Amino acid sequence: MRPNVRKKKLLFIMPGLAAGGGEKALVNLLGRLDYGRYDVDLFLLDNGGLFMDLLPPDVRVLPWPGRYERFRQPCLRSVLSSLRAGDAPLAASRLLYAARARIGPTSAVREQYGWRHLRRALVSAVPGRYDAAIGFLEKTSTYFCVDLARAERKIGWIHIDYDRLGMDPAFDEPYFGKLDHLVTVSEECASVLKMRFPRHREKVRVIRNIVSPSVVRKMAEAEKGDLYGRREGETIIVSVGRLHPQKGFDLAIDACALLVKRGRNVRWFVLGEGDERERLEKRIRELGLEGRFVLLGVKANPYPYMRQADLYVQPSRFEGKPIAVDEAKMLGLPILVTDYRAASGQIAHGVNGLIAAMEPGAIAAGIERLMDEPELRVRLRRNLAQEPLGTEDEVRKFEALLEGESEWKARSGKQASCSS
């Protein structure tokens, strides 16, 4: 870096760093930034999480203001502590926030409209000024960026197919209007945003999630022992994702039941955690799949589990551009994904994986095809070995956004405008 060049001050806002694709994407991006050029602050609405230990040491995690500490307490305790502190407006906001959490057709809409009450607890959260503020996840992070961050440039990030989030576009319209850029992770997601928000189509930019093949492969070798207790003649299937309806693990359980019923010697393991665990475990018991379909929980290093599996399956209902699929490709696994809107952006059917209809019978049939056709598995692995998979250079596109429109066009070429 040239002497006497001022570092740019960046603020990232994120709900937390628990296991998830957006969280992993943020950690990977932060790991590629040049800290000789940037000072980076990170505000987390929920501290802790699997990826906290992976943050670069140069990233400063901002402390919570006292009002937010009180707001986060269980409702009654929060109200009483706010009243004792003489903060009746915060007590009222906490009550309204709790009520709003019960009103609305979807959890996404409840989060959207709950922001109006949550924001009162966060007004003083980031007192400094920044060159750029980045709300790195849809909904609350973006609203925080727009309403509370003082920055020359404001960037919102959408990691998923907007139309499948169950959100109210009317709430987001004015927020997107105040952003300088609206980043998403695939061309398919960009098309959705431009169709849903035509007034802001020129703001839409595509920056793919940053994944490093060398890092994934090195971490995959960290554990050498048999992680599954593999039995003779069986096929190990693995999936990675939050236990959330979006990820379609209920479809996977039903597909597994079909495979077992047909006499297939399979075990299916899921790496991830979430609110759906109880419901999924109930379904596993109902179908008698204990020991056949296993929820392993979150693993700090999932890659040895992926490497030792025979097949990778992504049974999602909707996605943006799932990092786990890219990671499975880097490990050379035969892959099956469902036909969510962005699937063809990662998988070419019959070339580097299979795409199945979003229902248990089709998922099971695709898995059986991968099991029964060794020549297909060989072809998929061979094609994956020839596919350029690293996305480390996407950080240059992010840096170009920070510099301005001319720099973005210079570095990104035709992909910059995403206005086709």
What are the tens digits of pLDDT across the range 106-163? Answer: 999 999 999 999 999 999 899 899 999 999 999 999 999 999 999 999 999 999 899 9
Other beta carbons less than 10 A from residue 379's beta carbon: 15
Distance of CA 219 to the CA centre of its chain: 20
pLDDT beyond 90 at 393: no
What are the phi and psi torsion angles at 247 (to 5°)? Answer: -80, -10
All domains of the chain, ordered by start, with CATH? 8-62+126-210+392-415 (3.40.50.2000), 213-386 (3.40.50.2000)
Q: What is the pTM of this model?
A: 0.83
pLDDT tens-digit profile of 327-349? 999 999 999 999 998 899 899 99
pLDDT beyond 80 at 414: no
pLDDT beyond 90 at 267: yes
Mean pLDDT of the chain: 92
pLDDT beyond 50 at 46: yes
List all residues 6 or more positions away from 130 whose beta carbon is below 8 Å from its beta carbon. 9, 10, 11, 41, 149, 150, 151, 152
pLDDT mean over 261-287: 97
Cβ pair 215, 276 in contact under 8 A = no
Q: What is the pLDDT of residue 1?
A: 45
